[in-house]
Structure 1
Amino acid sequence: MSITVHEPEIADVSAETIAALKELPVAIIGDELNRAQMMHAAIKPVARGSRFAGRALTVHCMVGDNLALHHAASIAAPGQVIVADGRSHEDTALWGGILHEAATKRGVVAVVIDGAVRDVAELRDSPVPAYARAVVPAGPHKGFGGEVNGMIQCGGTAVQPGDILVGDDDGVVVIRPEQLAGLVERCRERIANEDKILAGIAEGKTTVELLGL
């Protein structure tokens, strides 16, 4: 079966904005996005301490088949995040050590799979974070087709090519380019406000007092 590779128009986002987003907690970003656009709890980092931000290179896989992921890894550009809809299938690993090394060589900054991965010892040692729904040793098929750079879902959240994904130990949030205006500043203000709350707790105040509950 063939792989369909789309060539969508992608809005420009500055490297400075991506770098600023990488430093922000996913929970804070999600709060500023009305607690929406965060992937399901099942999408977890393979290694603790994971953190990334980058532009989405989307992949739609057939169940148990990773041919489209091979094509995505072959065209990935530096700074991109390979994000795949693996149909939430947990019994076949769509991603492993070989593909991870290939994607790393292309400059990919993270991989997010709504499905399973394997070779986790290698993935944990990599500087490129991997997120997935499950870990399983069973390998994939290749040859049933798929799609690259189309609109997908991953972890219950819609993802379009060029969306900004930010991940940390809590999970992954998806940001549309049109949502970026003022977002970093609002997140920093929220962090400053939370710091004030923590200072109040240190002084002996209760959260009921501090939050006006």
Structure 2
Amino acid sequence: MTFVSTCDLLDRFKDDARVVLPGLRDFGAVTRFSGPVVTVKCFEDNSRVKELLATPGEGRVLVVDGGGSLRCALMGDMIAGSAVRNGWAGVVIWGCVRDVAELATLPLGIRAAAATPRPSVRRDQGLTGLSIALPGAAVEPGDVLFADEDGIVLLTGEQAAGLK
């Protein structure tokens, strides 16, 4: 998929595009990324995050609704390394990451609310393929996410298919 800047997307789609509110920080070495969305909803348990990022990413973006929890990280360097090896374009987490120095070296788009050294506890919980929410924007499986230095924009698959 061809990358289009978030500003250009908003100029074209105006209110028909969804914009994630400011506040998610860059943690990966890639600051501009895009791809079809895969969703996870979990709270302080990264079982589904680890599971999905170990599968072929095919240029997709994993979007995680972690409920904005700042108590533990839903991804660290080992899981992010798995995402790189498996061809994921990026990971967006409404929650925390850890191993920040290592994440900064990985060729992966990573956005999250914050960093914390505390890992999550795996209890085999979490759901995939659901409608979820990031601050200010609903996210549907199959949406296409665009992230750059100006922010994060979501389009429907149909809208994104019309981009040239």
TM-score (norm 1): 0.70
1:123 aligns with 2:110: no
CA 1:139–1:181 in structure 2 vs 1: closer, same or farther (change >3 Å)? Answer: closer
CA shift at 1:59, angstroms? 0.7
1:93 counterpart residue number: 73
Cα contact 1:77–1:107 (8 A) shared by 2: yes
1:150 aligns with 2:130: yes
1:171 counterpart residue number: 151
1:33 counterpart residue number: 13
1:44 aligns with 2:25: yes
Structure 2 Cα separation of the partners of residues 54 and 137 of structure 1: 28
The DSSP-based 3-state class of the residue aligned with 1:162 is: coil
Percent of aligned pairs sharing the same letter: 33
1:202 counterpart residue number: none
CA shift at 1:154, angstroms? 2.0
Aligned match for 1:73, one of 20, 44, 53: 53
Q: Deviations over 1:24-62 (max 9, x none)?
A: 221221233325411111112125761111111111112
1:57 counterpart residue number: 38
Structure 2 Cα separation of the partners of residues 34 and 53 of structure 1: 18
Unaligned residue ranges in structure 1 (runs of 5+): 1-17, 185-213
Q: Which has the higher contact order (CA 8 A, sep 6+)?
A: 2
CA shift at 1:176, angstroms? 0.3
CA shift at 1:90, angstroms? 1.6
CA shift at 1:86, angstroms? 0.6
CA shift at 1:182, angstroms? 4.6
Question: How many residues are treated as equivalent by the alignment?
Answer: 163
Q: Give the letter for the 1:139 counterpart.
A: P
1:4 counterpart residue number: none
Q: Give the letter for the 1:105 counterpart.
A: R
CA 1:48–1:75 in structure 2 vs 1: closer, same or farther (change >3 Å)? Answer: closer
Structure 2 Cα separation of the partners of residues 32 and 38 of structure 1: 13
TM-score (norm 2): 0.90
CA 1:75–1:148 in structure 2 vs 1: closer, same or farther (change >3 Å)? Answer: farther
Which one has a larger percent helix, Structure 1 or Structure 2? Answer: 1
